[in-house]
Structure formats: C-alpha cells, structure tokens
Chain A
C-alpha cells in the first residue's frame, strides 16, 4: 500500500511541475501567437478581396464579420471566419462573399486534420468547389448541395461545409439587422 502512495506522489509532483512550467511558457507566447494569427487573417482577407481598400470589423449578436470597402467606401462584400470541430480539432475557414452573398473564395486557416486525408480540404480542388455558391447550395451533394465529398475525408469535408453554411446564414441575418 505504501508504495502506491509514493507512486501517486511522484506522478503528482512530475505533472504539477510540468503544468507550472507550461503555464509560464504559455503566458509568454500566448500574446505573440494571437498577434501572428491576427496578421494571418488580415493577410487572408486582403488576398481574397484584393480590390478592397479597408476592412471594417462589425459585431452583431456575438457574430463577428468584416465589411470590405473600396476607396470610395462602397461595400464590396464581407469576410468572416467560420469555425467547426473537424475530425481531430478545430477547423477555421476564412470565407469571402460578395454583396449578394455568393462565395468569392474560401481559405482554410487552421486545421489539424489527418495528413493526406483530411488535409485535402486545404487544397484548391476542394476550395474551388465553393466559388460562386449561395447558401442553399452549400451542402454535400447527397443532401442536395453542390459539394462533393472527398473520399476518406467525409468528416473533414462535412465540417468545413457545415461551418460555412451555418456562419453564412448568421452573416446574412447579421447584415440585414445592421442595415435596419
């Protein structure tokens, strides 16, 4: 019995020290990682709507999106970050739509899917399927949409598709509300 108490104490100590150390490192790196992420997203927004001069952040009912404006402050479209849990972690997709809510482009920003299978959602052949689609078409083909499942990566494909469809709906609602 005694040795079990010792096992417990040693493991507890090892894990406690480890957690303390990681908390320190996290405190140091967290703001920098956050800043990197913001920069990546800013760059993605500019790549997707290159004619935009400025992006204005709007938050309606907890939903965040950006309005893309040209030099004369005319509205060109919107971008937002759609999120959904994939096969092995969070997938974040940057989506750009025009003023009639047709998709201009999508770009997977964050993913930890299985290399070679789920990671195919980052490839142009997948991302290009979304170009020009409207909300009702963003479904898997067998549910009546226009997205063809990637063999071996059903969960990842579904996650990206669902993320975009859900958040596009939120965007349409939010944009309407903002117009009022």
Chain B
C-alpha cells in the first residue's frame, strides 16, 4: 500500500511540474503535440529512474563536497545513452525533440530528486520516488500538450478531434511559445482555485 501512495505522491501532492515547479523548460518547449510530450516524458522517466537508483547506490562512496559533479556525470551519462538509443531506434521522434533530449541533463527535476531524495534514501524508495516523479512529469507534459494540440491543431495524438472547419483555421498561438506559458498558467490557476476551495470545505 505504501508503494502505491508513494507513487501517487509524485503524481499528485508533489507533482514535479504543477506543484514543485521543477523542470519547466521541457514543459514549455516540447508540448506542441501529445506525441512529443509522451516521448519526452518517457525519456526523462528513464533518466530519472536510472539516476535515482545509481545515486542511491553510490551515496555512501561519494564525498559530500563533490557530490554535485558526480550526480551531473551520472545524469549526463544516462541522458547520452537515451539520446543515442532514440537516434538509432526512434529517429523521427528524435529529430522532432532535437536539442531537448541532450538538455534532459540539466533538467532540475532530476538533479533535484537526486539531491533531495535519492542521496538520503535507500535504493528501493528512490526507485519508487523516481517512478512517481516520472509518471507525474509525463502526465503533466501530456496535459499541457493535450490543451495545446487540441486548440492549435484540432487534433489529439495526431487524431482529428475537432471538426475540419476548426482544423483549417486553428488557434495557432496555442502551439507557439506564448501558448505554452498561457496554457501552463491557466492549468496552475485552475489547480490553485481547486485546492483553496478543497481546503476551506475540508
């Protein structure tokens, strides 16, 4: 039961993007379509799983003063691995995500979890934390991307969901950079309204 509640913590109460506000760069950059968002989410999840696991494993060998460079090397290694594997096996997705895959290295969510969780907890808990964070990150990305893709292209995951009259003249601003900020802002606002009401009634 604890495993499930720990994973839910990463998705809900400590959602890396919507609550902790970590790793916002990819949220704004790659959420033009749900396909890109899921690809980015899964790639990031892979990196955080591996890095949390490894950081937790080696935490006692690494002197405190040089822990950050060590973590960065670990994260960069896994990012490079996923970058090469995607280039080899998912070339189309790799081309679309472009520079943002190598930039997973500097995603502050991953370094943040290594520093604040994996370096203080055992391997099993760190793995569960990474699963929760990964799912939370991927779902948040997919949520932002859903809004932007539906408004900006009339499609969801490449399928037509709105009538062709709309699709021929979609709200292009939604898939441009300002659309990302607006969408994220509205989602955060809605979430805060919901939370404040929930608190008062509870």
Contacts and interface: CB of A to CB of B under 8 A. Distances in A.
A21 B63 contact: no
Contacts, number: 57
B73 A15 contact: yes
Nearest to A32: B88
A18 to B, nearest CB: 4
B98 interface: yes
A10 B61 CA distance: 8
A112 B87 CA distance: 14
B77 A18 contact: yes
A85 to B, nearest CB: 16
B50 to A, nearest CB: 11
A18 B74 contact: yes
A71 B198 CA distance: 73
A26 B84 contact: yes
A11 B88 contact: no
Chain A: interface residue count, which band? 20 to 34
B163 interface: no
A123 interface: no
Contacts of A33: 84, 87-88, 91
A6 B62 CA distance: 10
A86 B88 CA distance: 24
Given A11-B69, A18-B73, A36-B87, A115 B99 contact: yes
Contact of A115 (B80, B81, B87, B98): B98
Contacts of B77: 18, 21-22
Interface string B63-80: 101100110011011001
Given A112-B98, A115-B98, A115-B99, A11 B84 contact: no
